Structure 1
Amino acid sequence: MFDFVRNNRRIVQVVLAGIILPFAFWGVDSYINHMGSSNDVATVGGSAISLQAFQQSLQEQQNRMRSAAGRPVPQELLDTPQIRQDVLNGLIDQRLLLLHAAKSGLGVSDAQLAQFIASVPSLQDDGKFSKEKYEALVAAQGMTIDSFEARLRQDMAMQQALGAVGASLPGKGGADRWLAAQLEEREVAEALFKPEQFASQVKLGADAAKAYYDSHASAFQVPEQVRVEYVALTRQGLLGQVSVSDEEAMAWYKGHAEQYRQPEERRASHILILAEKNAPEAAVKAAATKADELLARIRKAPGEFAALAKQHSQDPGSAAHGGDLDWFRRGMMVKPFDDAVFALKEGEVSTVVRSDFGFHIIRLTGVRPERVRPFEEVKGEIVAQLSQQAAGRKFTEAVESFTNMVYEQADSLQPVEDKFKLKPMQSGWLTRDGQGAGPLNNPKLLAAVFSDDVLKNKRNTEAVEMGQDVLVAARLLEHKPASMRALDEVKGEIEKRLIQEEAARLARQAGEAALARTAKAEGGAEIKWGAARSVPRLGAADVGREELQAVFRADVARLPAYAGAVRPDGSYALYRISQVKPFKGEDDSRAQMLRQQYGQIVAGEEFSAWLSTLRQRYKVEIHQKVLDAKEH
């Protein structure tokens, strides 16, 4: 049942990428059970997507876009109606998956959960799982290990629900045609018309640079800039100012004993013969007969259970391990399976059990009785959790005082630095659109540092909320008004640019003229061609996208054929196509990779179709007015 997730992990990761962060902040229960208010952006199946969750996801998407751009991006380009709609669509898809997972009844064993957590690189030291890093991560979110793992189980159960969707294999004929087109090669010779060959023909007028300068004034404007000193009050920063005694930790432990109670766990192995709920009657009967035959063999020779599971079980997740499902708690498996397991005694084998997946034969291999985790085992978790709570209270108590002090004592940040033990920091040069702002790239803060109150009156900014439990205040260090670069300073740059542009135009003109001559019987004989070589449709390192498209768009019914394209550097590339080489090597590693890629494309389309059916099953309502409002 994990085949779809395993074979199409990239597709699933794209869809699920946005879930984990809001998961950690708000939790599964708040996703599923939040029933709405007038400030919700949408409802899905009766459960609401809150404005708070939408704003959190929007901010995360904007941060990803800034990171991908690798340079400052104006805020208005990151908060368009289309981006807001895309973020909401992602949240709706996430909610559909969560609702479907909650109703699917699938569960995750302790071993599967532990393997997932241990595989997270940020929780490892020298390639090995670090319990200390894990506990610190959980505590930083103000959660206990049990509550964090319960929520993580929900996420993994959702992936299992995705696995149940499956993915049919694409037809071989379609795959073969697509593969043949992708792996076709064409033998070409190339002739280049480079701008530098025509640069000497370019003669600029005496006023050309000035005319360009005057008509492109904005390109030579240096924006207004400031440098600021700033301080940040954060919950994480206050952690070092709180402490938790052993007595406080023990008191918490005694008062929350149920939180550390671990219910009974059972370990089982099973043999699954697939027969899904809507399978044809004949297929169901055949599966039931096979399960009965296997059970009879196990009754005669119980020691062969693992071998029979490896040979006959159709559960890809457990068959290779002799059917072992590791440890799990009541309610983690589908109900018929769950009921059967918890009715067995250790070592017993069940009768044939029917579930929506098929027919199971189950052997109970272990029982762990209910227990309460001892204090010493959970002390570190408790101390970390109580420290986070204390820092949170300290932050909440400090917010009003911090806000008032930076406003009332507006000629310096020193008072808040002293009172809250904060270290002052200095920015680089900032612009109104956030260029160079880095961690200070916040619209409200940037508006404040460029306000008259800061620039002219030399006052502190107000305290600005930069994120969850983060307040920042700043004051001016230096200010540079907007200015224009002088013509004398940029004249050389302009003339160089104009010469390059005109030379590129002449190169293209010459190349297109040569291409036109090739259509004539004897045309193009004077063209100096390079050596012929094979170019694959998948591309070559020295052939750009535009050139590649031109070569493979060319009509090759009659050879030689010709094509041309402009390169990014302004050169014009002319190609003579002398041979078409169809793909024949079925064992080629590229063919195997592309067949998998073709399957992923089809699987992605099926996955999108499945999401569409979920939208029909769970009523989706979008509150457009709330979504469109940019200030709340």
Structure 2
Amino acid sequence: MLQALREKTSGWIAIAIVALLAVPFAFFGMEHYLFQNNADYAAKVEAPPKWWRSAPDVWLVRKLAWTSTEVGPEEFRQAFDAAREQRRRDEGENFDARAFETMESKREVLEQLIDRAVLGLAAERANIVVGDAQVREVISSIPAFQVDGRFDAQRYQMTLQSAQPPRTPAEFQASIRLDLQRALVPQAIAESAFVTTAESERLMRLLGERRDVSFVVVPPPAADETPVPDADLQAWFEKNASRYRAPETVALEYIEVVAQPQAEGGDVDEAEARAHFEQVKSRFVASERRLASHILIEVPAGADAAAQQAAQKEAADLAAKAAQPGADFAALARAHSDDPGSRDGGGDLGWVEKGMMTGPFEDALFGMQAGTVSQPVKTDFGWHVLQLREVDAGKPVAFEDVRDEMVREVREGEGARAYNDQVGRIVDEINRHPMSLEQAAAAGQVEVRTLAPFARGAGTGIAANRAVEQAAFSEALTQDGTVSDPIEIAPNHTVFIRVTAHTPERAQPLDEVRGRVTAEVRADRARRQAEQTADAMVAELAAGKTVQALAQARSLEAQSIPGLPRGAPVPDAATSQAYFRALAPEAGKSTPGRAMLPDGSAVVFTVDRVIPGDPAEAQPQEQAMLRQQLGALLGNEDAEVLQRELRRQMKITVNEERL
């Protein structure tokens, strides 16, 4: 039998069947068999080519024709770290780093990076290019690079060097260029939104709307002191069991190290201050900068040799004219330059430092003498003619100019060293005895203190610090009983903690919370009774009674407020919202309604008349501001629609293993 099967599957029929089966495998699912999931990216965005926008989403076509871009693991990690730090700054001590390290948070950050990648790929496919002038303008406007409201090259260099990770000017400029490229289309769409006069007037009529309202405040029912049957208690307890749980608690012992004020005082030797100055004086030296102008003869991407030569010849002619005695370089730039960012200013580029421009441009500029004009310089944007107007060489700062600052830094350094030495001795002892604080306390000459059991958010003293609380409730400390790593709760203030007792969260039996359950059942009864009373009064109003008649029958006080504006808290904001959610009444009638107040009382009301806002009462400036704000909202919505549509047109693959 096996021999017969082998003969049947070895002929030309078997070969033909295998060939037919290979065709669909080439287009559908073959990558699952040929490749393992070893992709080194966090997310990948793929788009059909410009010349075949309807290209099908099948493996072979994607591999051969589609364009793609990736979000790398390092890019994601940097963005996630930045998001963590931003959240930490926003929430302060309430920030929970452990809670932030969830897949939901990671996907939220990744989705933002994917949106950026989608916009970048779309801009690349649309041949969107950002010029050097736009990049310089953005960098110059960043407050972090300014001194007294003006761009400062030294501050620019120092800020980039102190960033994490440090960045060169070229790297930063490339990132700004890419951000501008990505933002150009959605920004243009957002700015193109507009609001018609009819739309703004309709909104003003709604915002300025007033209503005539009558209402009565119905007090909460009397306190419910009636017994609650055990069956009702049990039913309520089971329905709300998640609310009756004893929180997780921990008890601590700890030591704290605080820098002593006397360690930061005392005289500082002149020689020591000068030695410190020699170590840090490089930060006081201003970098050389050059005041430059340029004329750009642009060469489009993909231009042929003839166009390249024509642009070079035009640049050479302009360079010859600009080099003549008495030539007006600014006038030539305004008449001939293709750089829209500097043309109107006569080609002025302002002060330029090394690292701000592309390689050939920068090499030529920093090889020139002041007052000269260069020969044409080729970059990716075309041919440049440069004029060096002035050179500002870096000037070192003398020790006498920063003496007080050096003395202060030396004194702070001495205090910091004493503090760090103390912390270091404690850490060494903890490494030798990780299950006890006694030896560490002796080495640091501090005492061991204790904290009674506390729950999350209920700690006092150092336990009120968010970082201490997070460490105290971490699995590493609650399970092992080891001493924590150093926890800095303030500058020059560090604590070490050890969990001495840990009680996990637990369900509380009914007998343990019977009093609380009884009170909540009675409160629920009172709430339902108040709602029933209010609903009955609303029904009477709907049948034709007035608020005044209802109030008189119940010995309550009715109030009537004509022309109540939107948002007026009468008697509170939630009730005001109920007034304006009610339907406008028909002529000669009223619209009844009710709202419950936090104290268990109810507001029963009628809307008697609606007075639309009058757009004519608004000043022209107010109308223009409203149209601008509404237009911005609509523009942002249009940009979001564009983003969703671009994502729909592309294939997005997420690799959560790399997050």
Q: Same fold (TM over 0.5)?
A: yes
Asked whether the 8 Å contact 1:187–1:580 carries over to 2, the reply is: yes
Decide whether the 8 Å contact of 2:256 with 2:446 is kept in 1.
yes
Instruction: Look up the SS of the partner of 1:475 in the other structure.
Output: strand
Query: CA–CA distance in 2 between the matches of 1:314 and 1:557?
Result: 61
Partner of 1:207: 228
Partner of 1:167: 188
2:60 is matched with which residue?
A: none
Q: Secondary structure at the match of 1:530?
A: strand
> Which of 521, 525, 540 is the aligned partner of 2:568?
540
Paired residue secondary structure (2:615): coil
Is it true that 1:463 corresponds to 2:484 in the alignment? yes
Identity among equivalent positions (%) equals: 18
Alignment partner of 2:539 out of 513, 525, 530? 513
Contact 1:336 1:353 in 2 (8 A): yes
2:527 equivalent to 1:501? yes
Q: Work out the CA distance in 1 between the residues paired with 2:582 and 2:180.
A: 43
Partner amino acid, structure 1, of 2:543? R
Letter in 1 for 2:465: G
* Corresponding residue SS for 2:616: coil
- Note the residue ranges of structure 1 that are not aligned, 5 or more in a row: 1-36, 121-128, 278-287, 455-460, 628-632
Cα distance in 1 for residues equivalent to 2:183 and 2:278 = 44
Alpha-carbon distance in structure 1 between the residues aligned to 2:604 and 2:380 = 61
Partner of 1:26: none
SS at match of 1:87: helix
Match for residue 327 of structure 1 among 324, 339, 351: 351
Cα 1:232–1:102 shift into 2, 3 Å: farther
Q: TM-score, with normalisation over the residues of structure 2?
A: 0.55
Closer, same or farther in 2 for the Cα pair 1:489/1:223, shift >3 Å? Answer: same
Q: 1:253-273: per-residue Cα shift (whole Å, max 9, x none)?
A: 89xx9x999765222468999
Describe the shift of the 1:366–1:171 C-alpha distance in structure 2 as closer, same or farther (beyond 3 A).
same
The alpha carbon displacement at 1:474 in A equals 2.0
Alpha-carbon deviation of 1:530?
Answer: 0.9
Q: RMSD in angstroms over aligned alpha carbons?
A: 6.9
2:438 pairs with 1:414: yes
Matched, 1:223 2:247: yes
| Native 8 Å contact 2:215 2:547 kept in 1 | no
Partner of 2:613: 581
- Rounded Cα–Cα distance in structure 1 between residues aligned with 2:171 and 2:448: 38
Structure whose CA Rg is larger: 2
Which range moved further: 52-61 or 607-616?
607-616
- Please tell me the residue identity of whatever aligns with 2:568: A
Write out aligned runs for 1:181-200 (5 A). Answer: 181-184=203-206, 185-196=208-219, 198-200=220-222
Name the counterpart of 1:475. 498
Which of 282, 290, 295 aligns to 1:266? It is 290
Superposed CA deviations along residues 285-313 of structure 1, whole A, max 9, x for unmatched, are: xxx9xxx9xx99xx9995997xx99xxx9
CA distance in 2, matches of 1:611, 1:208: 58
Task: Give 1:86 shift.
Answer: 1.0
Question: 1:180-200: per-residue Cα shift (whole Å, max 9, x none)?
Answer: 22552333222335351x514
Q: 1:19 is matched with which residue? A: none
1:564 and 2:593 matched: yes
Cα deviation, residue 177, structure 1 = 0.8
Decide whether the 8 Å contact of 2:94 with 2:466 is kept in 1: no
* Aligned AA (2:215): L
Structure 2 residues not aligned, in runs of 5+: 1-37, 45-68, 302-313, 551-557
Within the candidate set 406, 411, 431, 1:404 is matched to 431
Closer, same or farther in 2 for the Cα pair 1:508/1:358, shift >3 Å?
Answer: farther
Q: Which residue of 1 aligns with 2:306?
A: none
Corresponding residue number in structure 2 for 1:623? 655
Give yes or no for contact 2:42–2:72 (8 Å, CA) kept in 1.
Answer: no
Change (3 A) 1:358 1:622: same
Residue identity opposite 2:252 in structure 1 = V
Question: CA offsets, 1:412-465, max 9 Å, x none?
Answer: x132344467786766853268876533366664145874664xxxxxx24358
Structure-2 separation of matches of 1:108 and 1:373: 29
Pairing of 1:246-285 with structure 2 (within 5 A): 264-268=288-292
Q: Cα gap change, 1:354/1:513 in structure 2, threshold over 3 Å: closer, same or farther?
A: farther
Question: What secondary structure, in the 3-state scheme, does the structure 2 residue paired with 1:56 have?
Answer: helix
Distance 1:53 1:335, change over 3 A: closer
5 Å-filtered alignment, 1:36-75, equals 41-42=42-43, 45=70, 47-49=72-74, 52-53=77-78, 56-57=81-82, 59-60=84-85, 63=88
Partner Cα distance (1:426, 1:156) in 2: 52
Equivalent in the alignment of 1:89: 111
Residue 513 of structure 1 deviates from its aligned partner by 1.6
In structure 2, what is the equivalent of residue 430 of structure 1? 454
Moved more, 492-501 or 146-155: 146-155
CA spacing shift, 1:372–1:104, aligned 2, 3 Å: farther
CA 624–445 in structure 1, closer or farther in 2 if over 3 Å, else same: same
Contact 1:193–1:510 under 8 Å retained in 2: no
How many residues get paired?
Answer: 534
Q: Cα gap change, 1:451/1:548 in structure 2, threshold over 3 Å: closer, same or farther?
A: closer
Partners of 2:452 and 2:120 lie apart in 1 by 43
